[in-house]
Amino acid sequence: MNSHLSPIFLTKAQRQLLRRHDEHHHKHILHIRRDRNGERDSKRDRGESMDREAERRKRKERDEELKQRKRARLEKEKEVETTKEYYLGPEKPKKREIINKSRFSFDWAHSEDTSRDISSLYQNPHEPGLLFGRGFRAGIDRKEQKKLAARTKRDLLEEIRKRNGIEGTAVEAAALKNKERDADMYDTFDMRVDRHWSDKKLEEMTERDWRIFREDHNISYKGSRIPWPMRNWAEGKLTTELLKAVDRAGYKKPSPIQMAAIPLGLQQRDVIGVAETGSGKTAAFVLPMLAYISRLPPLREENEAEGPYAVVMAPTRELAQQIEDETVKFAHYLGIRVVSIVGGQSIEEQGFRIRQGCEVVIATPGRLLDCLERRYCVLNQCNYVVLDEADRMMDMGFEPQVMGVLDAMPSSNMKPENENEELDEKKIYRTTYMFSATMPPAVERLARKYLRNPVVVTVGTAGKATDLITQHVFMVKESEKMYMLQRLLDELGDRTAIVFINTKKQADFVAKNLDKTGYRVSTLHGGKSQDQREISLEGFRTKRYN
């Protein structure tokens, strides 16, 4: 057998078939490699996209954390600023200093004065001209100045009449003669330019005197057609009975809020009073209210069921009872009946007292609304409403109750919204008094809805305590508060003290500790019944508790 293989000759068709087979095999191998590379690339891309997503998520969390830190820092700074403003007052804006680089030179030559060539008034600059009005020139006899001023005025008027061909009247001649006579009688040593407003009669008061009067008493107004304040009780246009009651109560001189608010109330104007604590606000609205009621027909059997003539709302029972005491005191000579409606007492008994007939109801908003809803009383003829300490009522959540009471009153007698429209003197309009130490948004909403063209009377600074109160601040730790309180109470001696505490529970706790140390203590809060609260107040007044 031959070991060498003989060559095989392929035909053209066989060679083409073999080439196509090799190409197909080569393509198959390339396809497998491409699939393997694609799978490897897709795994790598998927891993990179997951890394990118995780990085993006971490960056987002980091940004959110930075935003939260910044927000917390801003809130902390705002809280610090609010605390500083509460205790130290608002920060006054710094005045911008204007630096004038090119200063004006006031040096000028005498030859540059061209005024004497223009006006005859400047022809003799060293000769002083005559002064008119109340002013005087120093170093010259004041009486002679008065005489010279009277003669100059007479000559000047005569010259003007001759120039215009006008004859003087007898009244003008008499006035000039009186002026010359006053100049002759003028006391040379009288250094007063004008009298103080306290030395003048009411008809002699000028606009300037009233401005000084308001500045002296720190009174400011906001509104239109404002009457002059009253300087004393005799000028207040109150009835004889009310003046007798004021004198009986020992009120010698009206306080600033009474001077400003009483004349407005007597004109049936809506008033928003902003005054400091202890400024006599109660008499400022009680006296106009009683004057208004005294002009109405007395209550009889036919109209007793229509409700009271006036309503006063206060945030707390104690304040309502205090207003009741003041109203009874001023209504002593008028025979006006006053009923207080507060929580802690029988609502049926209070409703019975209202149905028996009363001109004035003094109430807390919640209890008064309960009486209205249960039909114990109606407000069909109530046209005078007072909201005392309106900001506190809003803070205590009485806004719905206050609005419910105001909506229960007749709305046909509201004043016109146009302040220029004349009021019908024969018609009785609703008069609304509102007293508030501050003007939060809730109080402004109430005023916009129920008050018509109100006059805002501000005495002193809004929210400021009276100057009769001295305030001290002690910064102590929580654990040292009781020791500091006892030390302060020991320094009082025989005087009494009121301690204000945030919560009822804490008030009872502090009272118990003080009682153990020998103090005569009584608590007063919403958890006590009305009888217990009245006993506590009476004991504090009589110094049974200190």
What is the rounded distance in angstroms from the CA atom of residue 122 to the CA atom of residue 115?
6
Measure the CA–CA gap between 155 and 144, rounded to whole angstroms.
Answer: 16
Distance of alpha carbon 475 from alpha carbon 439, whole angstroms: 30
Confidence of residue 136 (pLDDT cuts 50, 70, 90): low
Asked whether the beta carbons of 180 and 150 are under 8 A apart, the reply is yes
pLDDT of residue 5: 62
The whole-number pLDDT of residue 461 equals 66
Q: What is the mean pLDDT of residues 511-537?
A: 83
Q: Are 359 and 338 in contact (CB under 8 A)?
A: yes
Is the confidence at residue 105, as pLDDT, over 80?
no
**Edge-to-edge strand order for the sheet containing 219-222?**
219-222, 455-459, 271-275, 431-435, 384-387, 310-313, 360-363, 338-341
Banded pLDDT at 104 (limits 50, 70, 90): low
Mean pLDDT, residues 372-399: 88
Of the candidates 454, 434, 54, which has an alpha carbon nearest to the alpha carbon of residue 226?
Answer: 454
pLDDT at 125 over 60: no
Give the per-residue pLDDT at 111.
Answer: 62
Tokens for 307? Answer: 């409700």
Asked if 123 and 116 count as a contact pair (C-beta separation under 8 A), the reply is yes
Question: Coil, strand or helix: which one is 385?
Answer: strand
Domain 478-542: CATH architecture, name and number where available: 3-Layer(aba) Sandwich (3.40)
| Residue extent(s) of CATH 3.40.50.300 domains in the chain | 218-459, 478-542
- Structural element, H or E, at residue 511: helix 504-516
Measure the CA–CA gap between 111 and 123, rounded to whole angstroms. 14
pLDDT value at residue 287: 92
pLDDT in tens, 466-478: 566 778 888 888 8
Nearest-angstrom CA–CA distance, 330 and 382: 20
pLDDT in the model for residue 289: 92
pTM above 0.85, yes or no: no
Segment 233-251 mean pLDDT = 89
The pLDDT mean for the chain works out to 81
pLDDT at 424: 66
C-alpha 357/C-alpha 302 separation (Å) is 10
Query: pLDDT per residue over 294-352, tens digit each?
Result: 888 888 887 788 889 999 999 988 888 889 999 999 988 888 899 998 887 888 888 88
Alpha helices by DSSP H, 309-440? 317-330, 347-355, 365-373, 390-395, 399-407
DSSP string, 56-81: HHHHHHHHHHHHHHHHHHHHHHHHHH
**Residue 281 exposure: Cα atoms within 13 Å on the Cβ side:** 26
- Summarised one tens digit per residue, pLDDT across range 387-422 is 988 888 888 888 889 999 988 888 777 777 776 666
pLDDT, tens digit (0-9, with 9 covering 90-100), for 167-200? 878 878 888 887 777 777 766 555 555 678 888 8
pLDDT over 70 (residue 112): no
Quick one: CATH architecture of 218-459? Answer: 3-Layer(aba) Sandwich (3.40)
